[in-house]
Amino acid sequence: MVVCISMENIAYKNSELVDILRPLDLGESVAEADTLLEVARVETSAFTDLLQDRVDLIPGTKGSGKSALFRIFVDFLPDNLLKYRKVVIAHGVHSPGDPVFHAFKDDFAKLNEQQFVSFWCIYLVSLAHEQFIKGERYSDFIKDAGQEVESFRVACVNAKIPEIRAKKTLKDILQWTLHVLSNWSPKLTYKSPDNSGELEFDLFGQKTPLKFEPEDSDKERALPQYVNDIKESLEDILKKSKLSLWLMIDRLDEIFPRRSELEKTALRGLLRAMRFFSSETIRVKIFLRDDMLDQVVRSENGFTALTHITVRQADTLRWTEDQILSMVVKRIFVNKEIAEYLKINYERLEASAEYRKEAFYEIFPPTVNRPPNQSPTLRWIYNRCADGRNVVTPRDVIDLLNRAKQKQQDDFMANAVGKSEWIIGPMALQYGLQELSKKKRLTYLQAEFPHLWEHIEKFVGGKTGYSESAMQNILGKDWKRVSDDLVSIGLFRKTTIRGKAVFGVPFLYRQGLEMTQGKK
């Protein structure tokens, strides 16, 4: 029996609704495990900018879709990019390799920032070597570039990078890179192609600090030995083959101890190597959490020539309410059983925002709380998933809806003889928010910011709003710096009323921190 549940919202038997919910798959909130990523992807402005090669640095908060965007390009688009854009995709730091990076933590701890510049340059060379030069997918493209490939190999040999004919694992690549680094000690002087200055460093001899000379320096240009030769020979292969190479790196928040000096040093080295190794035909594209980028550039040592990195930086990944709507309905109705059950028209779903909204309300009630003056359910979900910076992430929305779906299914099964107007109703959505908030406390506030938890913990069981004087009483004499940190991670939303700051905790964290409505 086929039942069409319309906006009229006639009550249906719970036993029938269990059969609707059982096959409903909203996917996973973590990109690496998300089987719906390709079929239900939403093409944001960051996707378009990346596809058009307008950006190289893609920042975003945790759960905002950086890894999803990375996966789309490295897992689903390489063939199309090669065919239509002549772009080769090579990538590093994929999820399965994370434990491998940890295995070398003692080696990394010995490197300074200059050495990390060298490490990343050699690492990028190894990715190009393994995934492009030795990649079967590209053998036909480079078959006429034999002389250029040989020059590349000679340059690698000169740099003491051994030629290993067999395919290497990520562990092999890292071991290889660190081995080269330990035997590599030329002194390099590099003049930036954008004329921002000259970079000189002694890789492993004297610990010469990085320094930039003025643009009008009369020093004779000394091209970097080894790395520059390798890069130029790689460019020759690409030009001969009429190709471009994108080297993409993600998951940088999982390979070094969080908020450690090692992490900061490694990331500063990567950003410098990004400038050093990029060219017209080679792009290094980095997916990085915005709080990590902020930590790197706010270092007491500053970050020289930062503007030359951020000039090709994407806007921080943000999702509008309409984009969240598109993501949700695509994930729901990719299931053909549900789409057929509710007689969903796929062409209209793709073409019309208004129809997507209609389809959404075939599943959910018009409001979560009782009217009057209540937000529509879509707005309710969007607002409840917003942090103090008004950032809403796909991860949080998917987590909320997955919890709500499971709760609703359990309730229907426990009361099979009952009836319901909605496939996923208000109580289930409220439960989903409660469970999301608890998860955010554990996996975000406590896990990601242990250095702030002693301050955050003071608000557990408290109110949802605080005045300046209340913040000072709770946090002590250093309250301004600490409150700024809490605002920066999205725990508080800071507004100004009659010239004084007011701090409010967004819905996203209230239940997880056991708060009650009110002000102090």
Please say if the pLDDT value at position 1 is more than 80: no
pLDDT given for residue 115 in this prediction: 84
pLDDT given for residue 187 in this prediction: 41
pLDDT given for residue 387 in this prediction: 96
pLDDT tens figures, 411-459: 999 998 888 888 999 999 999 999 999 999 999 999 989 999 999 999 9
Q: How far is CA 365 from CA 355, 359, 361, 372, in A?
A: 16, 11, 6, 14
Please say if the pLDDT value at position 243 is more than 60: yes
pLDDT given for residue 9 in this prediction: 52
Compare 11 and 256 and report the one with higher pLDDT: 256
Helix axes 146-158, 227-241, angle to 10 degrees: 170
pLDDT given for residue 106 in this prediction: 82
pLDDT given for residue 17 in this prediction: 86
Alpha carbons 355 and 260: distance in angstroms, whole number? 48
pLDDT given for residue 229 in this prediction: 86
CA 242 from centre of chain = 31
∠ CA 109-111-112 to the nearest 5 degrees?
120
Confidence bin at 184 (pLDDT 50/70/90): low
How is 208-227 classified by DSSP, letter by letter? PPP-EE-TT--PPP-PPSSH
Are 447 and 512 in contact by the 8 Å Cβ rule? The answer is no
Alpha carbons 264 and 348: distance in angstroms, whole number? 48
pLDDT given for residue 427 in this prediction: 96
Alpha carbons 113 and 311: distance in angstroms, whole number? 22
Q: Which CATH architecture has domain 452-519?
A: Orthogonal Bundle (1.10)
In the chain, the amino acid numbered 436 is: L
Confidence bin at 316 (pLDDT 50/70/90): confident
Stated pTM of the model: 0.81
Q: Order the strands of the 57-60 sheet from edge to edge.
A: 57-60, 282-289, 244-249, 87-92
Compare 173 and 361 and report the one with higher pLDDT: 361
Are 405 and 21 in contact by the 8 Å Cβ rule? The answer is yes
Please say if the pLDDT value at position 221 is more than 50: no
Per the prediction, the chain carries an average pLDDT of 84
Please say if the pLDDT value at position 5 is more than 60: no
Going 363 to 368 to 373 to 375, the CA torsion angle's sign is negative
By CB atoms closer than 10 A (0-12, 13-18, 19+), residue 255 is buried
- As a whole number, mean pLDDT of residues 49-54 equals 94
Alpha carbons 191 and 9: distance in angstroms, whole number? 68
Are 71 and 40 in contact by the 8 Å Cβ rule? The answer is no
Please say if the pLDDT value at position 7 is more than 60: no
Alpha carbons 439 and 230: distance in angstroms, whole number? 47
Alpha carbons 399 and 439: distance in angstroms, whole number? 9
Q: What is the DSSP letter of 137?
A: G
Pairing mode of beta strands 12-13, 419-420: antiparallel
Burial annotation 116-134 (CB, 10 A radius, 16+ → b, else e): bbbbbbbbbbbbbbbbbbb
CA 109 from centre of chain = 25
Please say if the pLDDT value at position 162 is more than 70: no
Whose CA is closest to 95, among 172, 174, 170, 177?
A: 170
In the chain, the amino acid numbered 179 is: H
Q: What are phi and psi of 367, to 5 degrees?
A: -140, 155
Going 422 to 427 to 431 to 437, the CA torsion angle's sign is positive
- As a whole number, mean pLDDT of residues 131-148 equals 93
∠ CA 468-474-479 to the nearest 5 degrees?
60
Confidence bin at 202 (pLDDT 50/70/90): very low
Residues of the chain with CATH 1.10.10: 452-519
Q: Quick check: helix, strand or coil at residue 432? A: helix
pLDDT tens figures, 90-106: 998 755 445 667 777 78
Locate tokens 């959910």: which residue? 364
pLDDT given for residue 474 in this prediction: 97
Alpha carbons 423 and 401: distance in angstroms, whole number? 12
pLDDT given for residue 210 in this prediction: 33
Alpha carbons 489 and 455: distance in angstroms, whole number? 13
Q: Is the peptide bond before 372 cis (omega within 30 degrees of 0)?
A: yes
- As a whole number, mean pLDDT of residues 491-502 equals 93
pLDDT given for residue 355 in this prediction: 97
